[in-house]
Each structure stands twice: as structure tokens, then as C-alpha cells.
Amino acid sequence: RKEVEQDPGPFNVPEGATVAFNCTYSNSASQSFFWYRQDCRKEPKLLMSVYSSGNEDGRFTAQLNRASQYISLLIRDSKLSDSATYLCVALSNTGNQFYFGTGTSLTVIP
Amino acid sequence: DAGITQSPRYKITETGRQVTLMCHQTWSHSYMFWYRQDLGHGLRLIYYSAAADITDKGEVPDGYVVSRSKTENFPLTLESATRSQTSVYFCASSGGGTSTNSYEQYFGPGTRLTVT
């Protein structure tokens, strides 16, 4: 079983829509979680860190459910520029290995 | 320039050749990482380093060698390249320590390696 699993999508949504991605992790001892954004043929870039129950940054909200071992990312009022692949990441309980999901593809349609 | 850089950006090599990918960061981050990214697998950790002269294996270390004689550099060497090592390689760094942002990783632009 993979350490981190995501629905690969693709998610195709109209501009202005709200879209949510879920990600599950297998190691209940994982302490920290992150969402990265990756544009086609580019490097991943940090979108949000999720250290406790969750946090919000503008149109983006990340939530952590430790009981069910999943992390979610909510994007409100989608923009064309939000089109990308979103990677879910879990940090091992030893604090030195990061496990990446395979990513969820989002396309925002005009 | 500040940040994290990788070289070369593109490389084509033949099976059996040795090739070294370079990574350089200017933040004095403690941790550095090498990943490969392949379709269907996402990013997989090859090796990481917690500090100069300290390295450790990740998920897929076979066929790779790393060193870290200086904090800012973390080269990755494919000792005898194979076709299965054709991939996009990303280097990353993070600050380490105990602050809440110490585990945030920052990635280089990647090296696209093709082994023929």
C-alpha cells in the first residue's frame, strides 16, 4: 500500500466553482502534511502546510482529519490559473522522509 | 542568484555511462533531498542529507550515489546509467530545526535525464 494516495482526477471545473481534493495517508504516526502545486514540466511549489487540524490561506483551505487519516484541500472561486496538479505530502514520524502522492490534476475551464 | 539550482537541465547519456547531476542551494538549509518523478509513481525519494557529510537512503537508492562535502551542494551520481533511470530528477532543500516552517521543502527546476 502506498504511503499517500490521491484521486488522480482529472477534475474539470468551471471558473468560479469550488473544488475539493482528498488525500489519505497510511502511517498514523505522520506528523506534518503539505499541499504542493505542480505546473506541467515544472518543479513542485509549496501551496500550504497543514500542521494541526487545518488552515486557510485566501481561497485555499486545507484540513486534516487524523481519526480518518486524510487531508483535504478546498479551492473556492476557482481561477484559470489554478489549473495544475496538486500533490499531497506526508512527513514521516521520524521527520526526515517525505512521501508524495501521485497528484490530482485540476483544469479550470473558462 | 538566491535559491536552489540544478545542472544540467537536460541530459542524454548512454547505458553504462556515469553521470552526475548537480544541486546547489544558497539558503544554508540543513536538509537536502533528491527525488525522481515518473508517470504513475509520483515523486520518490532517492537520497537525503541532514547536514554536510550526513546522507541516508530514501525509497529508491539503488544505482545512485550521493555526497555532501559542503552544505550548499548535493550532487547525485548514477554510477552506471540504465534505461530505467530515465526520469525527471528534482533536488529540494528544507531548513530543518524545530520551527513550524522548518519542514517546508523548496525544489529546484529539475533535470530531465534520458538514458539511451
Read off the pLDDT of residues A12-66 as tens digits, 9 standing for 90 and up. Answer: 999 999 999 999 999 888 888 999 999 998 999 999 988 777 889 999 999 999 9
Give the SS3 label for residue B20: strand
CB contact B3 to A (< 8 Å): no
What residues are paired with A106 via a beta bridge?
A11, A84
State how far the Cα of A61 lies from the Cα of A49, in Å rounded to an integer: 10
Q: Give me the half-sphere count of Cα atoms (radius 13 Å) on the Cβ side of residue A94.
A: 7
The residue with greater pLDDT, B114 or A96, is B114
Q: Give me the half-sphere count of Cα atoms (radius 13 Å) on the Cβ side of residue B77.
A: 9
CB contact B10 to A (< 8 Å): no
CB contact A21 to B (< 8 Å): no
Q: Which of A7, A25, A43 would you mutate first to test chain B, the one with the most B CBs within 10 A? A: A43
Record: contact B44-A45, CB cut-off 8 A: no
CB contact B28 to A (< 8 Å): no
Residue A8: which of A90, A110, A100 has the closest Cα?
Answer: A100
Measure in Å the smallest separation between the Cα of A38 and chain B Cα atoms: 11
CB contact A100 to B (< 8 Å): yes
- State whether the Cα torsion A56-A59-A65-A66 is positive or negative: negative
Record: contact A51-B100, CB cut-off 8 A: yes
Burial label, B98 (beta-carbon count in 10 A; 0-12, 13-18, 19+): exposed
Record: contact A49-B58, CB cut-off 8 A: no
Residue B59 in this model has a pLDDT that exceeds 80: yes
B41 φ, ψ to 5°?
-115, -15
CB contact A30 to B (< 8 Å): no
Grid cell for residue A28: 498514523
CB contact B84 to A (< 8 Å): no
Read off the pLDDT of residues B68-81 as tens digits, 9 standing for 90 and up. Answer: 999 999 999 999 99
Residue B32 in this model has a pLDDT that exceeds 70: yes
State how far the Cα of A76 lies from the Cα of A20, in Å rounded to an integer: 9
Q: Is the peptide bond before A44 cis (omega within 30 degrees of 0)?
A: no
State how far the Cα of B85 lies from the Cα of A24, in Å rounded to an integer: 28
Residues 6+ apart with CB under 8 A from B99: none
Give the SS3 label for residue B28: coil
Distance, C-alpha B6 to centroid of its chain: 9
Record: contact A44-B43, CB cut-off 8 A: yes
Q: Which of A91, A96, A97, A100 would you mutate first to test chain B, the one with the most B CBs within 10 A? A: A96
- What value does the mean pLDDT of chain B take? 92
Asked if B36 and B107 touch (Cβ cutoff 8 Å), the reply is: no
Residue B99 in this model has a pLDDT that exceeds 70: no
Q: Is the peptide bond before B109 cis (omega within 30 degrees of 0)?
A: no
Of A43, A95, A99, the CB nearest to B107: A43
Residue B2, pLDDT score: 66
Residues 6+ apart with CB under 8 A from A80: A15, A108, A110
